[in-house]
């Protein structure tokens, strides 16, 4: 999409998770995509019109590139066509198609100069793979928090973009229980303890590994150390523990009660 002009946009329903903004398709028509970036779990397309297209995949959303016209209504019955909700027709001759069976995705248009003030982006914490995120930043964000460490890591104001699976995996690598109080990784003055250093490094490690293998929730559980492995032996060398599962804030936590404390 970068460098390509958007000729027109087909909206095949009035909403996804929320209604599309007024004049959504009209405001996109004729704009050129200058840059594609990401903030937390949001995709951002900076447009020549002065707007930015803010997108979220939700739980089941995905994009694909198709030849012009192939994804148009009435052109065959390929699997998934009923869930092709937005089609960006580019001047290059390509169609960029957004498919979302569960319709938890999200799209909005916001003036680029005000994008950081959008409710979805305002107040987000540092990116976990950025230089701004380290043991000091993590400890400072968790200092004084009485919530479980697992819940703190899912707080987007603590660190942006972490999801349930990778929080669980990082905690296992760091040897920390998801039930541990978040404040325990910081000293009374907010300085990082060794546990904060291990955890910050583990977060970066698990995300880097996931990117390398392009993993996702659709991949088989063999990809994971503890996630979805209830009642199986811990994979940490020489650990005799058996993985347990418990529910925290409506989400499943998997952990080893022997090597995570």
DSSP state at residue 225: S
Do residues 91 and 145 both lie within one domain? Answer: no
Q: Structure pTM?
A: 0.81
Do residues 182 and 102 both lie within one domain? Answer: no
Q: Determine the distance from the C-alpha atom of residue 119 to the mean position of all C-alpha atoms in its chain, rounded to a whole number.
A: 16
Determine the Cα–Cα distance for residues 165 and 254; give it in Å rounded to an integer: 9
Do residues 31 and 110 both lie within one domain? Answer: yes
**Residue 50 resides in a domain:** yes
pLDDT for the residue 249: 84
Domain total for the chain? 2
**Residue 107 resides in a domain:** yes
CB atoms within 10 A of CB 60: 15
| Structural domain ending residue among the three candidates 85, 117, 149 | 117
Half-sphere exposure of 259 (CA within 13 A, CB side): 21
The CATH number given to whatever domain includes residue 170 is 1.10.8.50
Q: What is the mean pLDDT, run by run of 10 residues, along the chain of 261 residues?
A: 96 96 97 96 97 96 85 43 94 96 96 95 95 97 97 96 94 98 97 98 95 63 86 96 95 97 96
Do residues 70 and 144 both lie within one domain? Answer: no
- Contacts by 109-114 with C-beta closer than 8 Å and gap 24+? 109/21, 109/24, 109/27, 109/28, 109/51, 109/52, 109/53, 109/54, 110/51, 110/52, 110/54, 111/50, 111/51, 111/52, 112/46, 112/47, 112/50, 112/51, 112/52, 113/50
Structure tokens at 229: 């492995």
**Residue 169 resides in a domain:** yes
Do residues 139 and 113 both lie within one domain? Answer: no
**Residue 105 resides in a domain:** yes
pLDDT for the residue 213: 81
Determine the Cα–Cα distance for residues 100 and 118; give it in Å rounded to an integer: 23
Q: What is the extent of the structural domain holding 150?
A: 135-255
pLDDT for the residue 251: 92
Do residues 101 and 209 both lie within one domain? Answer: no
Question: Tokens 């001759």 — which residue?
Answer: 93
**Residue 64 resides in a domain:** yes
């Amino acid at each position: 999409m970068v460098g390509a002009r958007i000729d027109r946009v087909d909206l095949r329903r009035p909403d996804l998770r929320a209604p599309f903004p007024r004049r959504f398709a009209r405001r996109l028509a004729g704009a050129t995509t200058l840059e594609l970036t990401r903030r937390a779990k949001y995709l951002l397309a900076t447009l020549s019109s002065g707007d930015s297209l803010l997108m979220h995949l939700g739980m089941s959303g995905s994009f694909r590139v198709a030849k012009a016209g192939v994804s148009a209504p009435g052109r065959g019955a390929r699997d998934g066509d009923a869930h092709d909700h937005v089609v960006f027709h580019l001047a290059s001759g390509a169609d960029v198609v957004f498919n979302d069976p569960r319709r938890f995705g999200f799209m909005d248009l916001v003036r680029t100069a005000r994008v950081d003030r959008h409710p979805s982006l305002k107040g987000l914490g540092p990116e976990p793979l950025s230089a701004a995120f380290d043991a000091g930043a993590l400890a400072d964000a968790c200092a004084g928090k009485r919530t479980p460490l697992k819940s703190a890591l899912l707080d987007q104001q603590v660190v942006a973009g972490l999801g349930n699976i990778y929080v669980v995996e990082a905690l296992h690598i760091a040897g920390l229980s998801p039930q541990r109080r978040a404040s325990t990784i910081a000293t009374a003055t907010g300085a990082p303890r060794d546990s904060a250093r291990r955890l910050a490094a583990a977060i970066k490690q698990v995300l880097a590994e996931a990117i390398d293998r392009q993993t996702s929730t659709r991949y088989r559980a063999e990809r994971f150390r503890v996630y979805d492995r209830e009642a199986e032996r811990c994979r940490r060398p020489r650990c005799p523990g058996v993985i347990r599962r418990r529910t925290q804030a409506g989400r499943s936590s998997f952990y080893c009660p022997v090597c995570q404390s």
